[in-house]
Structure 1
Amino acid sequence: MKPGRAVAGFLAVPFLLMVAGLLVIAALAGGLPSTSPVGSRLNAAFNGAQVPAEYREWVIRAGQTCPEVTPQLLAAQLEQESGWNPTVVSPVGAMGIAQFMPGTWPNWSEDNDGGGVSPYHPGDAIMAAARYDCALAKIVRGYIESGRASGDVQDLMLAAYNAGPNAVLNYRGIPPYAETQNYVRVIRTLMNKYQDVTPDIAAGTPFGSAVVEFAMRQRGLPYSWGGGDTSGPSMGFGNGAGVTGFDCSSLVQYAVYHASGGKLLLPRVSQAQVTVGQEVPRDFAAMMPGDVIGFDPYRNGDYSHIGIYIGNGQMVHAPKTGDVVKVSDLSESYYANATWSVRRYG
């Protein structure tokens, strides 16, 4: 970080408040807006293989702090700031992998790795960088919404990280500083290294069809317990440790998020995903492609599996450890004999 950067003094919006926005899901019933096609920045899976292995899980974790700070953006930013060097000190005194200035660091630091708080601890610094980015994203979004600045939220967030939010406000957008303009441009370019972009789905595609398409594109990826998020497949934990892929609920979260153009962030787990959206009868005549089916195999209220209906009595889902994302027939006894909760999000 460079001297003189302003520090925002507030906390990021809690996750539960973002989930509350799902109560207005019906507004998406018309499908993807024809004037706002799904862009490559949203339709891009994180390519964690490009991140040094010792920092990969920190980048994935930090990349879940807020929607604007994806793992691929954060990875590009860290490469630009320090070249992944956790011990570097800049000529002006910026410290560590995220290049925090001494005066800024205390406002965002926490002991995330259990080893004490230090800008030279990669876990602490990477998480702090994401918190700071998210705070700046909230500030610049406010500028845009009030008409005091214009531009892309992520671009203005990066500009504010480099030059401070007051500079963004004063110039009503990215400041005309060569360093700041280059900073934004370089990070946007570096993001290509850390993401795999799939072709866009055509604007105007019905929402349910887009949900199916985004999920079907993941066929063949491994099941990874705890893996996957809105950015794409990632390494899981427990039974998913060492496996990069999706579990059942992250596949649903990913497909719905991208089909909505980034407007809908579902809860992460299946038990919560079946509590939002519109309830649909368990009836193939009433169900539509893109509806989501939660399964309670023991009929005890535990919806432990979830998939996406694709029509013709079939679904696409991430079944279990050792399997892959695939299409299955809903007549299979495990699914047919379970209690269903069918939900429609658009």
Structure 2
Amino acid sequence: TPNAPTPVRPTGGTAGAPSTSAAETAIAAARSQLGVPYSWGGGGSNGPSNGIPPDSQLFGFDCSGLTQYAYARAGIAIGGTSRDQWWLNRNKQVAIGDLQPGDLLFWGGDRSDYMSITHVAIYIGGGQMIEAPDRGQHVTIARARTSSSTYFGAVRPSAR
């Protein structure tokens, strides 16, 4: 498409200091949804919802719906899809060694193109994250898979 954004390669670290209160609010909101079913296309700034086919009858969150909800509780609009969430915060990138609670972690197939992003989660510290992992699963706390070959990068939506 003629107006499509150009691919953006992660740079590693341009984010400022986090707003601790916003990050804590987002994490608390995500934690409040632990155990909610994964529903593809489900959830958003207002909370869980029915997803899209094949999950149109399943009430819950997909990965980006959960992160959108969490940050909406903190008063920060981060976008709807994982790709939007990267693109809208691309100037607030964070290197792995500088991760702080509340940072968003992304995974995708091609580190040179943000359009390959397929997953997002919220870093909660201590090498852990909260995520809505995949169909048939539930919102959970998991190990932050930053050493995965598909790890794309991180951004800090709460940066001042």
Q: Which residue of 1 aligns with 2:155?
A: 343
Aligned sequence identity (%): 32
Contact 2:49 2:61 in 1 (8 A): yes
Of Structure 1 and Structure 2, the greater strand share is in 2
Q: Flag the 1:241–1:310 CA change in 2: closer, same or farther, 3 A.
A: same
Aligned to 2:9: none
CA distance in 1, matches of 2:137, 2:65: 15
- 1:221 counterpart = 2:33: no
Give the ranges of 4+ consecutive aligned residues of structure 1 lying more than 2 Å apart after TM superposition: 28-31, 297-301
Deviations 1:62-87 (A, max 9, x none): xxxxxxxxxxxxxxxxxxxxxxxxxx
Whole-angstrom CA distance in 2 between matches of 1:30 and 1:323: 31
Query: What is the aligned partner in structure 1 of residue 94 from structure 2?
Result: 280
Q: Is residue 105 of structure 2 the alignment partner of residue 290 of structure 1?
A: no
Secondary structure of the 1:320 match is: coil
Q: 1:312 to 1:292 in 2, by over 3 A?
A: same
Closer, same or farther: CA 300–322 of 1 in aligned 2, 3 Å:
farther
> Could you tell me how far 1:239 is from its partner in structure 2?
2.3
Q: State the superposition RMSD in angstroms.
A: 2.3
**Counterpart selection for 1:212 from 24, 27, 34:** 27
Please give the alpha-carbon distance, in whole angstroms, between the structure 2 residues aligned to 1:341 and 1:236: 26
CA distances 1:179-217 after superposition (whole Å, capped 9, x unpaired) = xxxxxxxxxxxxxxxxxxxxxxxxxxx211111111011
Structure 1 residue 296: deviation in Å?
1.2
What residue in structure 2 maps to residue 308 of structure 1?
122
Indicate if the aligned counterparts of 1:276 and 1:343 stay in contact, CA closer than 8 A: no
Q: Which amino acid aligns with 2:132?
A: A
1:329 corresponding residue in structure 2: 143
2:60 maps to 1:241: no
Gapped runs of 5+ residues in structure 2?
1-14
The answer to whether the 8 A contact 2:23-2:102 is kept is: yes
Q: Distance in 2 between matches of 1:337 and 1:211?
A: 27
1:276 positional shift: 2.3
Distance in 1 (CA, whole Å) between partners of 2:85 and 2:41 is: 15
Helix, strand or coil at the partner of 1:336: coil
Q: CA deviation at 1:299?
A: 4.2
**2: distance between equivalents of 1:243 and 1:305?**
19
Q: Render the CA deviation track for 1:29-76: whole Å, top value 9, x for unaligned.
A: 545xxxxxxxxxxxxxxxxxxxxxxxxxxxxxxxxxxxxxxxxxxxxx
**Change beyond 3 A, Cα 1:30–1:317:** closer
Query: What runs of 5+ residues in structure 1 fail to find an aligned partner?
Result: 1-25, 32-205
SS at match of 2:133: coil
Greater C-alpha Rg: 1
Q: What per-residue deviation string (whole Å, max 9, x for no partner) do you get for residues 274-311 of structure 1?
A: 1223111122xx11000001111454631100000011
| 1:1-346 matched pairs, under 5 angstroms | 29-31=18-20, 206-260=21-75, 264-277=76-89, 278-283=92-97, 286-297=98-109, 299=111, 301=113, 302-331=116-145, 336-346=148-158
Question: Residue 36 of structure 2 aligns to a residue in which SS?
Answer: coil
